[in-house]
Structure 1
Amino acid sequence: MTGYADAHADGLDASLARVFDVVPDGLCILSSDMVVLRMNRAMAGWFADVGDPVGRSCREVLSAKGCSCEECPADMVLSGRACRMKELAVPLSGGGTRYLELSATRLPGVDDGRGGVLLFARDVSVRKAAERELRQANQDIELLLSSIGSIMISLDGEGAVTRWNRAAAEMLGLSGRQALGGLLFDLDIGWDWEPVREAIEACRRTGEAVRVDEIRLRTAGRERFLGLTANPVPSPDGQSRGVLILGRDITGIKVREAMASHEIKMQSIGRLAAGIAHEINTPIQYVSYNAGFLEGAFADLLRLVEAYRQAFATLSQAGEGRGDCLPPELRQTVEAAECEADLDYLSTEIPAAVANSRKGIRQVADIVRAMRQFSHPGGGEKTFFDINAAVKDALLVSRNEWKDTASLVLELDPELPPVCGLPQEIGQVFLNLILNAAQAMEEARGDKTGILGSITARTARQGPFVTVSLADTGPGIPAEVRGRVFDPFFTTKAVGKGTGQGLSLAYAVVERHGGDIFFETTPGQGTVFTVRLPIDGPQGKDGGSSG
């Protein structure tokens, strides 16, 4: 291709012609009517595969390589318009593509003074490849950041959001489109702002990472806990530091901590209850034995007294006509003693009193047994147990909580099969539900002068499941909090009356047993909580067996 420049130098200085030819960028001089006047080696190598391009139309030479006349830089210059860069992809004979950038400038003093155009072409294939690699790397990074399950929010020095990943959008309820570019503190995020603000300010002030736990987040009717870390992002001198906020949902961790704490408390209470139950059980056994002895002994005494009375009457009859066989003083003493003792009254009331005492003793013994059952630590291994007995024990242990506010209705299926699970944990679920029902009815009854409510406990079998429902006649659950009932630490009770852990722990226990817990509520009429447990344990939920 060197011959092109040498053969058509037309008076150009030889050194200039050599420079024109060896420049790595493509150069082409076009006449005012777009005819090729000169073309250097690089340009000819890219476009002029066959024959001498000089004297041929630009369109003829360049269009063969896919260069269309649309947005032509040379045409823009000749028409007096501002020239814009044009990108061109030229297929290579051996495969692949060469990427060129075309531009043009007015070139006076050529084509017999009419002027022409100098067309530039620069090979940007390497740059394009680097850009593609960079874009791919950025896409990979974005994909990685988006797939991270933790919240990732970047702030510039002014507090504007520059990054908002998918986890942030899902957890905080705002899309990237809504968040990006806006000031973080202007966004509608349902978390506790004060600790977040303090962490960001401390991070900027100290240049160190600042961690904050237990940030309450309320979105879509749910309440969760987040753990956040504000990390400093370096910035040019004199500018405020940026901040990278990383966070994750720690609700599950808090629930597990609460469950562990609850278990430790229950173990401590259990040991105390077991000791009390043991201490109560021993004297109760004495009282029970003695009550039984008194019942039998009094029956014997009544028979003896009756025999004496008959003997007294017989002696009185034997003395008729011959004078009384008994001394008058003795007769008067016996009659006075019998009148004072009121034997007819005692013979009726003492057996009844002893029977009531024995009934009370049996109730105390049942309470002691239930306390020992609840306080038993269990072995951590599932076993088959009686659901009806677990419900009765929970009702018995909690009787003091509901006896003044509700009557009890039991509709327990006597044919219910044993259920595989941890009886202590399931019993705690029932106890929590009963206590909630009692507190709801106490709230509805007010000063205890209102109508007595009721608690109805039902059990039934449904295929491979057993269902336990506990219904109350309380005020019902307000619509605005129904979606948060099972959220950890959520409570509608006054401070000191509820921790918000009872139902969330019940939910976790039932779920761990492969079951379900749900409720139906009607304002002003009450609530029914239902626990559904697979008979054969968690495998039974899918129809399998515990094997």
Structure 2
Amino acid sequence: MGHCDVFEVSQVCPLPAAKEEAPDFCALIKANARYRHIIGNTPAIIYSSVPSGDFRLTFVSENASRVLGYEPCEMLDDPNFWFNHIHPDDTAQIFSSLAMLFVEDQKIYEYRFRTSNGSYLWMHDTLRLIRDPDGTPQEVIGLMTDITGRKEMEDTLQRQAEEQRKLIEQLKMAQAQLMQSEKLASIGQLAAGVAHEINNPIGFVSANLNTLGNYVATLLEGIQLHQCLQGGALPAAMAQEQLRSFEARADLAFLSEDVTELLAESNEGLQRVRNIVQSLKDFSRIGESNWQMTDLHRGLDSTLNIANNELKYKVSIVKQYGELPLVKCLASELNQVFMNLLVNAAQAISERGTVTICTARAGDKVSVSISDTGHGIAPENLNRIFEPFFTTKPVGSGTGLGLSLSYGIVKKHGGDIRVSSAPGCGTTFTIELPIDPASVLAQSSATETSGEAS
């Protein structure tokens, strides 16, 4: 077999003496050569063996020399070739189940096979038992495919998964240690809420990345289609029709606009994560250099956009904005307060409800009220909701630090936060802020100093 019995069709066809038989004989030789050519150039090695004993090989396709480095003749001459070249660690699982081939008529194995240079390739081997009309085993036909690349990829993915699992465990341990140590510090109870507060922006950034991944796949499909059509494989009219069909399906105008928005929104979310961490450092300080005159309505709208995924499925937003001046504040921290109150409001609504945002000015102060039509807060819990780690949510649904963190931020701005609620009647949080916190904080400091002096 293999190169042992290869012959040229042109050498055979002129030989027959009978002209009537020559065309049939030549056609047979050509067909045989064609089949040998096809079998010898398939990606998989095709072979046959006896259906008993050592499974001695009786035929091996010529591509074995390309895949394994052995000539077919070499494989046929050794009656134990197949068994002798399987990796020792893989032989046991093959031998233990090979007898089932005569019951099931087909077996599939994956094992390592030694090549001519001594290395091993992973092979996917399908063995099929062929029987004669009486049901007697006649021969075994096999199909061996090189799956080394796939196995290497699987091993790489498995190693990466294991590394990620270890990293996640390390992160969990680090988070637990951080939470515990921060609880012992004077403002550690607020710092321990980082994990809870960061969850919101991380959530929508992750969703945006998934959407961007789908968009990239669509664009790559368009590029491949364009490259294919550039080759002139299709008539111009058909090519234009396929392009129009793709453009309509992909909605490129919307995709282009949405990609920009998703990237901008994701950048804002990641910036918010950084600001939340920074706010822990700056929580109890006064007079940071990044205090700025800010439009609170713009901050509310930005926060609504970020929290949209949390709100849109069950909340209708009603805006009742009054005339507000610019307020001197740390915009990122106030936005975090708005985010926490909006998410809490949405979670307090079981199915469908309304969240109303009202703003107003009263003298040198402004107020922001966020009301929901949720289940309300029990009277015995109203005095505790700003305590660190206190929560009425189910275990695992919250850390109990969100409102505590919000309370600290509002107080840092010289403001106040109040709550009014009754079971079944919804909840309203009202934030009052001075337009210029510096004067309020200075007055408070002077009062404290005067009290200490007296």
TM-score by length of 1: 0.36
TM-score by length of 2: 0.42
Between structures 1 and 2, the one with greater helix share: 2
Tell which structure's C-alpha radius of gyration is larger: 1
Q: Select the structure with the greater relative contact order (CA < 8 A; seq sep ≥ 6).
A: 2
